[in-house]
Amino acid sequence: MATELTAARYGKTKVRVFRIVREGSWHNIVEYNVEALVEGDIATSYTEADNSVVVATDSIKNITYCLSLHISSIAERFALHLGTFLVSKYAHLSKAFVTVEQLRWTRIHVAGEASPEGHPHSFYRDGDDKRVVNAVVDATGGKDKLVATVTSGVADLLVLKSTGSGFTNFYRDEYTTLVEVDDRIFSTSVDLTYTFAPLRIAAPTDEKKLEFVMPLQKGEGGYAGSVWDEEVPGRARAATLETFAVDESASVQATLYKMGQRIIAENASVTSVSYSLPNKHYVPVDMKYIGVDNLTPSKAEVFTPIAAPSGLIKATISRT
């Protein structure tokens, strides 16, 4: 029997990092869940039990912690830093795939407090949605010609509107039982990713590569391609929420497209936007048994949330 190793990638996942950035008594915090996987000349570790080519996943975890000392609040920057480090430090590793999931921590505001920016060291979790960054750092064209592809976005942003949504004029045939409605609940858990133009990254020159800090901020130079814009995550989240709220939704599909159009329009560095939107159905309860009309869409007040099945609407909108 002939076999061949056709793909191989390994690394550490679920590396949990919490970092305090101390500016005297003023603290900034970030919490990341990190995955860092690598590809390269590692085939013999699978095919010949040759561990000499394996940078242990434990070491990859340790590197993640070390680079955490350089964390800024910009998850993209951290992901690129880690990916660049891995392919620069190890000659035989040619690609790094880094995913950073950032959890929400928002500063608490205390009534009468001195600082309008909030409490110096106290925070709360103000939502279960996460910022998610995927960075691929590719050294296959040479260690001095690193190319990075970055997609960022939001996961698990749960939204609901109680009207301003309908679904009519859909295709009908012998399988159609769905009734047209001009008023319904629209709820979804937004998964959004947006892609930046590929970046060229200056190879680290620092001998001690741990001290190498990514030259990724505006004006620092060292990379070509799109201009890095730290405001994109906030704008993309706001565009998603606001479009969802104000759109007189003809369908999940139509609202999704408007959200994507707005993100592309507002963010020059974004080349494409993808959404994955489950249509979380809420079914009006038939309350005829107590003489209440709860089935007329615009009058319905009592619903059963249906966990499964749900619709699932996906699309990518690209700049042309």
Ligand X SMILES: O=c1[nH]c(=O)c2[nH]c(=O)[nH]c2[nH]1
Binding-site residues for 5-hydroxyisourate, in ranges, read 57, 167, 184, 252-253, 279
Catalytic residue among 61, 81, 280, 281: 281
- 295 and 262 in contact (C-beta within 8 Å)? no
| Cα–Cα distance measured from residue 37 to residue 217, given in angstroms and rounded to the nearest whole number | 25
Is 251 among the residues that bind ligand X (CB under 6 A)?
A: yes
Least Å distance, CB 251 to ligand X, is 4
Stretch that binds ligand X, among 24-32, 91-99, 251-259, 283-291 (CB under 6 A): 251-259
Residue 57 annotated among the catalytic residues of the structure? yes
Binding-site residues for urate: 57-58, 167, 184, 252-253, 279
Binding mask of the shown chain, residues 198 to 217, with x at each position contacting ligand X by CB under 6 A:
--------------------
Is 178 among the residues that bind ligand X (CB under 6 A)?
A: yes
Is 189 among the residues that bind ligand X (CB under 6 A)?
A: no
Residue 47 annotated among the catalytic residues of the structure? no
Q: Are strands 303-305 and 130-138 parallel, antiparallel or unpaired?
A: unpaired
Catalytic residue among 44, 57, 163, 271: 57
Binding mask of the shown chain, residues 86 to 115, with x at each position contacting ligand X by CB under 6 A:
------------------------------
| Cα–Cα distance measured from residue 141 to residue 251, given in angstroms and rounded to the nearest whole number | 44
* Side-chain-facing half-sphere of 232: CA atoms under 13 Å: 31
Q: Are strands 93-102 and 26-40 parallel, antiparallel or unpaired?
A: antiparallel
Number of residues that bind ligand X (CB under 6 A): 7
Binding mask of the shown chain, residues 255 to 294, with x at each position contacting ligand X by CB under 6 A:
------------------------x---------------
Least Å distance, CB 292 to ligand X, is 25
Tell the burial category of 282 from Cβ atoms under 10 Å away from its Cβ (0-12, 13-18, 19+): middle
Main-chain phi, psi angles of 8, to 5 degrees: -155, 130
Closest CA to 298 of 188, 169, 186, 182: 182
Q: Which is closer to ligand X, CB of 97 or CB of 244?
A: 244
Per DSSP, helices labelled H in 182-288 are 232-246, 252-266
Residue 12 annotated among the catalytic residues of the structure? yes
- 265 and 259 in contact (C-beta within 8 Å)? no
Closest CA to 199 of 178, 174, 217, 211: 217
* Site residues for ligand X per CB under 6 A: 167, 178, 251-253, 279, 311
Query: Which positions are annotated as active-site residues?
Result: 12, 57, 281
